[in-house]
Structure 1
Protein backbone atom coordinates (compact mmCIF):
# COMPACT_ATOMS: atom_id res chain seq x y z
CA UNK A 1 0.00 0.00 0.00
CA UNK A 2 2.56 2.58 1.10
CA UNK A 3 6.35 2.49 0.71
CA UNK A 4 8.18 1.73 3.98
CA UNK A 5 9.55 5.26 4.40
CA UNK A 6 5.98 6.66 4.14
CA UNK A 7 4.86 4.18 6.78
CA UNK A 8 7.73 5.11 9.10
CA UNK A 9 7.02 8.80 8.74
CA UNK A 10 3.28 8.46 9.26
CA UNK A 11 3.74 6.19 12.29
CA UNK A 12 6.01 8.80 13.90
CA UNK A 13 3.59 11.68 13.23
CA UNK A 14 0.20 10.07 13.90
CA UNK A 15 -1.39 8.27 16.84
CA UNK A 16 -1.97 4.56 16.33
CA UNK A 17 -5.71 4.96 15.62
CA UNK A 18 -5.04 7.85 13.21
CA UNK A 19 -2.41 5.83 11.38
CA UNK A 20 -4.76 2.85 11.01
CA UNK A 21 -7.52 5.15 9.76
CA UNK A 22 -5.11 6.62 7.21
CA UNK A 23 -4.17 3.12 6.05
CA UNK A 24 -7.83 2.28 5.52
CA UNK A 25 -8.38 5.51 3.56
CA UNK A 26 -5.38 4.81 1.34
CA UNK A 27 -6.48 1.23 0.76
CA UNK A 28 -9.99 2.39 -0.20
CA UNK A 29 -8.55 4.96 -2.62
CA UNK A 30 -6.34 2.33 -4.21
CA UNK A 31 -9.13 -0.24 -4.43
CA UNK A 32 -11.88 2.04 -5.72
CA UNK A 33 -9.66 4.39 -7.77
CA UNK A 34 -12.20 7.27 -7.73
CA UNK A 35 -13.57 8.09 -4.33
CA UNK A 36 -15.08 11.35 -3.14
CA UNK A 37 -15.65 12.45 0.42
CA UNK A 38 -19.36 11.81 -0.08
CA UNK A 39 -18.94 8.30 -1.52
CA UNK A 40 -16.18 7.18 0.87
CA UNK A 41 -18.57 6.37 3.77
CA UNK A 42 -20.43 3.88 1.58
CA UNK A 43 -17.30 1.75 1.08
CA UNK A 44 -15.83 2.09 4.58
CA UNK A 45 -15.75 -1.15 6.59
CA UNK A 46 -16.90 0.47 9.84
CA UNK A 47 -19.87 -1.13 11.63
CA UNK A 48 -21.57 2.23 12.27
CA UNK A 49 -24.32 4.20 10.57
CA UNK A 50 -23.60 5.97 7.27
CA UNK A 51 -23.91 9.47 8.76
CA UNK A 52 -21.53 8.55 11.59
CA UNK A 53 -18.99 7.26 9.03
CA UNK A 54 -19.32 10.50 7.06
CA UNK A 55 -18.71 12.63 10.16
CA UNK A 56 -15.77 10.40 11.16
CA UNK A 57 -14.17 11.04 7.76
CA UNK A 58 -14.70 14.78 8.09
CA UNK A 59 -13.16 14.81 11.57
CA UNK A 60 -10.22 12.75 10.36
CA UNK A 61 -9.37 15.16 7.54
CA UNK A 62 -9.56 18.11 9.96
CA UNK A 63 -6.97 16.67 12.35
CA UNK A 64 -4.24 19.22 13.13
CA UNK A 65 -1.58 16.55 12.54
CA UNK A 66 -2.72 16.17 8.92
CA UNK A 67 -0.87 19.16 7.56
CA UNK A 68 1.71 19.61 4.88
CA UNK A 69 4.65 20.56 7.04
CA UNK A 70 4.20 17.71 9.58
CA UNK A 71 3.40 14.86 7.19
CA UNK A 72 4.53 15.84 3.71
CA UNK A 73 7.79 17.68 4.42
CA UNK A 74 9.48 14.69 6.12
CA UNK A 75 8.64 12.57 3.07
CA UNK A 76 10.02 15.21 0.70
CA UNK A 77 13.18 15.56 2.82
CA UNK A 78 13.69 11.80 2.63
CA UNK A 79 13.22 11.84 -1.16
CA UNK A 80 15.64 14.77 -1.53
CA UNK A 81 18.22 13.14 0.74
CA UNK A 82 18.12 9.80 -1.09
CA UNK A 83 17.72 10.90 -4.72
CA UNK A 84 19.31 14.32 -5.12
CA UNK A 85 22.82 15.66 -5.04
CA UNK A 86 23.23 18.84 -2.97
CA UNK A 87 25.73 20.17 -5.51
CA UNK A 88 23.28 20.16 -8.44
CA UNK A 89 20.52 22.68 -8.90
CA UNK A 90 16.92 21.71 -8.26
CA UNK A 91 14.30 23.24 -10.55
CA UNK A 92 11.39 24.52 -8.48
CA UNK A 93 8.24 25.69 -10.30
CA UNK A 94 5.60 27.94 -8.81
CA UNK A 95 2.12 28.22 -10.28
CA UNK A 96 -1.47 29.08 -9.51
CA UNK A 97 -4.64 27.59 -10.90
CA UNK A 98 -8.23 28.46 -10.31
CA UNK A 99 -10.63 25.72 -9.29
CA UNK A 100 -14.24 26.83 -8.95
CA UNK A 101 -14.17 29.86 -6.65
CA UNK A 102 -10.73 29.22 -5.15
CA UNK A 103 -7.11 29.67 -6.07
CA UNK A 104 -4.74 26.78 -5.63
CA UNK A 105 -1.10 27.79 -5.33
CA UNK A 106 1.49 25.11 -5.62
CA UNK A 107 5.23 24.70 -5.74
CA UNK A 108 6.70 21.62 -7.38
CA UNK A 109 10.08 20.06 -7.88
CA UNK A 110 10.62 19.38 -11.58
CA UNK A 111 12.25 15.98 -11.84
CA UNK A 112 12.41 13.46 -14.69
CA UNK A 113 9.75 15.33 -16.69
CA UNK A 114 7.38 15.20 -13.71
CA UNK A 115 6.25 17.68 -11.10
CA UNK A 116 6.59 16.47 -7.51
CA UNK A 117 4.40 18.68 -5.28
CA UNK A 118 6.37 20.28 -2.47
CA UNK A 119 3.89 22.73 -1.03
CA UNK A 120 0.43 24.08 -1.79
CA UNK A 121 -2.15 26.47 -0.41
CA UNK A 122 -5.80 27.04 -1.16
CA UNK A 123 -7.00 30.63 -1.09
CA UNK A 124 -10.74 31.28 -0.76
CA UNK A 125 -10.87 33.81 -3.58
CA UNK A 126 -10.73 34.12 -7.34
CA UNK A 127 -8.17 35.92 -9.46
CA UNK A 128 -4.55 36.86 -9.10
CA UNK A 129 -2.71 37.04 -5.84
CA UNK A 130 -0.83 39.87 -4.18
CA UNK A 131 2.84 39.96 -3.22
CA UNK A 132 2.09 39.01 0.41
CA UNK A 133 0.30 35.82 -0.65
CA UNK A 134 3.14 34.94 -3.01
CA UNK A 135 5.73 35.37 -0.26
CA UNK A 136 3.63 33.30 2.14
CA UNK A 137 3.52 30.48 -0.41
CA UNK A 138 7.25 30.52 -1.13
CA UNK A 139 8.69 30.90 2.39
CA UNK A 140 8.02 27.33 3.65
CA UNK A 141 10.00 26.03 0.68
CA UNK A 142 13.09 27.89 1.87
CA UNK A 143 13.03 25.83 5.08
CA UNK A 144 12.37 22.61 3.18
CA UNK A 145 15.19 22.88 0.64
CA UNK A 146 17.62 25.21 2.43
CA UNK A 147 20.49 22.69 2.03
CA UNK A 148 20.10 22.53 -1.75
CA UNK A 149 20.87 24.85 -4.61
CA UNK A 150 17.75 25.67 -6.59
CA UNK A 151 16.27 27.87 -9.28
CA UNK A 152 12.69 29.07 -8.89
CA UNK A 153 10.72 29.39 -12.12
CA UNK A 154 7.34 31.05 -12.44
CA UNK A 155 4.65 31.97 -14.95
CA UNK A 156 3.61 35.50 -15.88
CA UNK A 157 1.56 35.97 -12.73
CA UNK A 158 4.76 35.74 -10.72
CA UNK A 159 6.75 38.02 -13.02
CA UNK A 160 6.58 41.12 -10.83
CA UNK A 161 9.32 43.53 -9.88
CA UNK A 162 8.37 43.28 -6.19
CA UNK A 163 8.66 39.50 -6.18
CA UNK A 164 11.93 39.60 -8.13
CA UNK A 165 13.36 42.12 -5.65
CA UNK A 166 12.27 40.01 -2.66
CA UNK A 167 13.77 36.84 -4.18
CA UNK A 168 17.02 38.72 -4.90
CA UNK A 169 17.16 39.88 -1.26
CA UNK A 170 16.80 36.22 -0.22
CA UNK A 171 19.64 35.24 -2.62
CA UNK A 172 17.30 33.00 -4.60
CA UNK A 173 18.05 32.31 -8.24
CA UNK A 174 14.92 32.69 -10.31
CA UNK A 175 13.46 32.85 -13.80
CA UNK A 176 10.12 34.62 -13.98
CA UNK A 177 8.19 34.99 -17.20
CA UNK A 178 6.91 38.48 -17.85
CA UNK A 179 3.96 39.69 -19.90
CA UNK A 180 4.47 40.51 -23.55
CA UNK A 181 5.35 44.16 -24.02
CA UNK A 182 7.07 44.51 -20.63
CA UNK A 183 10.78 45.13 -20.39
CA UNK A 184 13.29 44.85 -17.62
CA UNK A 185 16.12 47.31 -17.59
CA UNK A 186 19.17 46.93 -15.40
CA UNK A 187 20.27 50.09 -13.69
Structure 2
Protein backbone atom coordinates (compact mmCIF):
# COMPACT_ATOMS: atom_id res chain seq x y z
CA UNK A 1 0.00 0.00 0.00
CA UNK A 2 1.27 3.43 -0.92
CA UNK A 3 1.27 5.37 2.35
CA UNK A 4 2.82 8.53 0.91
CA UNK A 5 1.02 11.78 1.70
CA UNK A 6 0.68 13.89 -1.47
CA UNK A 7 1.40 17.61 -1.19
CA UNK A 8 2.03 20.49 -3.56
CA UNK A 9 4.86 22.74 -2.36
CA UNK A 10 5.11 26.48 -3.01
CA UNK A 11 8.79 26.40 -4.01
CA UNK A 12 8.83 30.16 -4.54
CA UNK A 13 8.44 30.43 -0.74
CA UNK A 14 10.98 27.76 0.20
CA UNK A 15 14.75 27.61 -0.14
CA UNK A 16 15.86 24.54 -2.10
CA UNK A 17 19.38 23.14 -2.38
CA UNK A 18 20.19 20.98 -5.41
CA UNK A 19 23.51 19.16 -5.22
CA UNK A 20 24.63 18.01 -8.66
CA UNK A 21 25.18 19.79 -11.96
CA UNK A 22 25.31 16.88 -14.40
CA UNK A 23 22.55 15.16 -16.35
CA UNK A 24 20.57 14.10 -13.28
CA UNK A 25 20.93 17.57 -11.79
CA UNK A 26 19.66 19.02 -15.07
CA UNK A 27 16.67 16.65 -14.97
CA UNK A 28 15.82 17.66 -11.39
CA UNK A 29 16.31 21.39 -12.01
CA UNK A 30 14.16 21.18 -15.14
CA UNK A 31 11.38 19.45 -13.18
CA UNK A 32 11.54 22.03 -10.39
CA UNK A 33 11.39 24.99 -12.76
CA UNK A 34 8.79 23.47 -15.10
CA UNK A 35 6.46 23.10 -12.13
CA UNK A 36 7.48 26.18 -10.20
CA UNK A 37 9.21 28.75 -12.45
CA UNK A 38 9.93 31.04 -9.48
CA UNK A 39 11.48 28.29 -7.34
CA UNK A 40 14.28 29.52 -5.08
CA UNK A 41 17.07 27.07 -5.95
CA UNK A 42 20.75 27.04 -5.05
CA UNK A 43 22.67 24.50 -7.14
CA UNK A 44 26.10 23.35 -5.97
CA UNK A 45 28.43 21.11 -8.00
CA UNK A 46 32.12 20.88 -8.93
CA UNK A 47 31.04 20.54 -12.59
CA UNK A 48 27.99 22.23 -14.10
CA UNK A 49 26.73 21.36 -17.58
CA UNK A 50 26.23 24.17 -20.06
CA UNK A 51 22.55 23.12 -20.30
CA UNK A 52 22.18 23.70 -16.55
CA UNK A 53 23.77 27.13 -16.89
CA UNK A 54 21.49 27.98 -19.79
CA UNK A 55 18.37 26.94 -17.88
CA UNK A 56 19.48 28.81 -14.76
CA UNK A 57 20.13 31.96 -16.80
CA UNK A 58 16.41 32.05 -17.67
CA UNK A 59 15.42 31.97 -13.97
CA UNK A 60 16.77 34.76 -11.74
CA UNK A 61 15.74 32.79 -8.62
CA UNK A 62 18.36 30.10 -9.39
CA UNK A 63 21.90 30.53 -8.04
CA UNK A 64 24.80 28.38 -9.24
CA UNK A 65 27.97 27.64 -7.25
CA UNK A 66 30.62 25.66 -9.14
CA UNK A 67 32.43 24.02 -6.25
CA UNK A 68 32.10 20.93 -4.06
CA UNK A 69 29.25 20.70 -1.55
CA UNK A 70 29.92 22.26 1.86
CA UNK A 71 27.93 21.62 5.06
CA UNK A 72 27.15 25.35 5.20
CA UNK A 73 25.12 24.94 1.98
CA UNK A 74 22.30 23.55 4.14
CA UNK A 75 21.89 26.77 6.12
CA UNK A 76 18.37 28.16 5.64
CA UNK A 77 17.24 25.35 3.33
CA UNK A 78 13.89 23.60 3.69
CA UNK A 79 14.28 21.14 0.80
CA UNK A 80 17.35 19.30 -0.50
CA UNK A 81 17.65 17.32 -3.71
CA UNK A 82 20.74 15.18 -4.24
CA UNK A 83 21.63 14.34 -7.83
CA UNK A 84 25.27 13.31 -7.95
CA UNK A 85 26.98 10.00 -8.75
CA UNK A 86 28.48 9.89 -5.25
CA UNK A 87 26.46 7.61 -2.91
CA UNK A 88 28.73 8.25 0.08
CA UNK A 89 28.21 12.02 -0.29
CA UNK A 90 24.45 11.43 -0.45
CA UNK A 91 24.53 9.37 2.76
CA UNK A 92 26.60 12.03 4.52
CA UNK A 93 24.21 14.81 3.50
CA UNK A 94 21.09 12.78 4.37
CA UNK A 95 22.46 12.08 7.84
CA UNK A 96 22.75 15.85 8.38
CA UNK A 97 19.41 16.76 6.77
CA UNK A 98 17.59 14.21 8.96
CA UNK A 99 19.22 15.66 12.08
CA UNK A 100 18.10 19.14 11.01
CA UNK A 101 14.61 18.13 9.84
CA UNK A 102 15.21 19.13 6.21
CA UNK A 103 13.16 17.19 3.66
CA UNK A 104 15.44 15.40 1.21
CA UNK A 105 15.12 13.60 -2.13
CA UNK A 106 17.98 11.44 -3.38
CA UNK A 107 17.90 10.55 -7.06
CA UNK A 108 17.42 6.83 -7.67
CA UNK A 109 17.81 5.95 -3.97
CA UNK A 110 14.31 5.54 -2.47
CA UNK A 111 15.65 4.31 0.89
CA UNK A 112 17.32 7.67 1.54
CA UNK A 113 14.34 9.78 0.45
CA UNK A 114 11.91 11.67 2.66
CA UNK A 115 9.88 12.42 -0.45
CA UNK A 116 9.68 11.43 -4.10
CA UNK A 117 9.33 13.74 -7.07
CA UNK A 118 6.27 12.40 -8.88
CA UNK A 119 5.44 12.32 -12.53
CA UNK A 120 3.31 15.40 -13.24
CA UNK A 121 0.53 16.20 -15.69
CA UNK A 122 -0.29 19.88 -16.07
CA UNK A 123 -2.87 21.63 -18.21
CA UNK A 124 -3.44 25.22 -17.16
CA UNK A 125 -4.17 25.33 -13.44
CA UNK A 126 -4.88 21.61 -13.28
CA UNK A 127 -1.94 19.63 -11.96
CA UNK A 128 -1.98 15.88 -11.27
CA UNK A 129 0.96 14.15 -9.61
CA UNK A 130 1.48 10.40 -9.98
CA UNK A 131 3.37 8.22 -7.52
CA UNK A 132 4.32 4.55 -7.73
CA UNK A 133 5.86 4.69 -4.24
CA UNK A 134 9.30 4.79 -5.86
CA UNK A 135 8.82 1.38 -7.50
CA UNK A 136 8.44 2.28 -11.18
CA UNK A 137 9.13 5.75 -12.56
CA UNK A 138 8.58 4.21 -16.01
CA UNK A 139 4.97 3.33 -15.20
CA UNK A 140 4.44 6.79 -13.73
CA UNK A 141 5.72 8.24 -17.00
CA UNK A 142 3.32 6.07 -19.04
CA UNK A 143 0.38 7.11 -16.84
CA UNK A 144 1.41 10.75 -17.24
CA UNK A 145 1.38 10.34 -21.02
CA UNK A 146 -2.08 8.75 -20.82
CA UNK A 147 -3.52 11.59 -18.74
CA UNK A 148 -1.87 14.26 -20.90
CA UNK A 149 -3.61 12.75 -23.93
CA UNK A 150 -7.00 12.32 -22.20
CA UNK A 151 -7.48 15.48 -20.15
CA UNK A 152 -9.31 17.93 -22.42
CA UNK A 153 -7.31 20.88 -23.69
CA UNK A 154 -10.11 23.24 -22.59
CA UNK A 155 -9.85 22.20 -18.93
CA UNK A 156 -8.65 25.72 -18.01
CA UNK A 157 -11.91 27.20 -19.30
CA UNK A 158 -13.80 24.66 -17.18
CA UNK A 159 -11.73 25.57 -14.10
CA UNK A 160 -12.31 29.30 -14.65
CA UNK A 161 -16.07 28.75 -15.04
CA UNK A 162 -16.23 26.60 -11.91
CA UNK A 163 -14.34 29.25 -9.94
CA UNK A 164 -16.72 31.96 -11.16
CA UNK A 165 -19.70 29.79 -10.19
CA UNK A 166 -18.18 28.99 -6.80
CA UNK A 167 -17.73 32.70 -6.13
CA UNK A 168 -21.50 33.25 -6.61
CA UNK A 169 -22.54 30.55 -4.13
CA UNK A 170 -24.13 31.56 -0.83
CA UNK A 171 -24.37 29.52 2.35
CA UNK A 172 -21.97 27.63 4.54
CA UNK A 173 -19.12 25.39 3.40
CA UNK A 174 -21.27 22.23 3.30
CA UNK A 175 -23.89 23.92 1.11
CA UNK A 176 -21.24 25.16 -1.31
CA UNK A 177 -19.61 21.71 -1.54
CA UNK A 178 -23.01 20.13 -2.16
CA UNK A 179 -23.78 22.58 -4.98
CA UNK A 180 -20.38 22.02 -6.61
CA UNK A 181 -20.69 18.24 -6.26
CA UNK A 182 -24.08 18.36 -7.97
CA UNK A 183 -22.73 20.49 -10.81
CA UNK A 184 -19.64 18.33 -11.42
CA UNK A 185 -21.05 14.84 -10.79
CA UNK A 186 -21.21 13.95 -14.50
CA UNK A 187 -17.87 15.43 -15.57
CA UNK A 188 -16.05 12.11 -15.52
CA UNK A 189 -18.97 9.84 -16.37
CA UNK A 190 -18.50 7.78 -19.55
CA UNK A 191 -20.14 9.40 -22.52
CA UNK A 192 -22.89 7.36 -24.17
CA UNK A 193 -22.83 7.37 -27.96
CA UNK A 194 -25.64 9.28 -29.57
CA UNK A 195 -28.12 7.37 -31.74
- Same fold, TM exceeding 0.5? no
Q: TM-score, normalised by structure 1?
A: 0.26
Q: Which structure has the highest strand share of the two? A: 1
Q: TM-score, normalised by structure 2?
A: 0.26
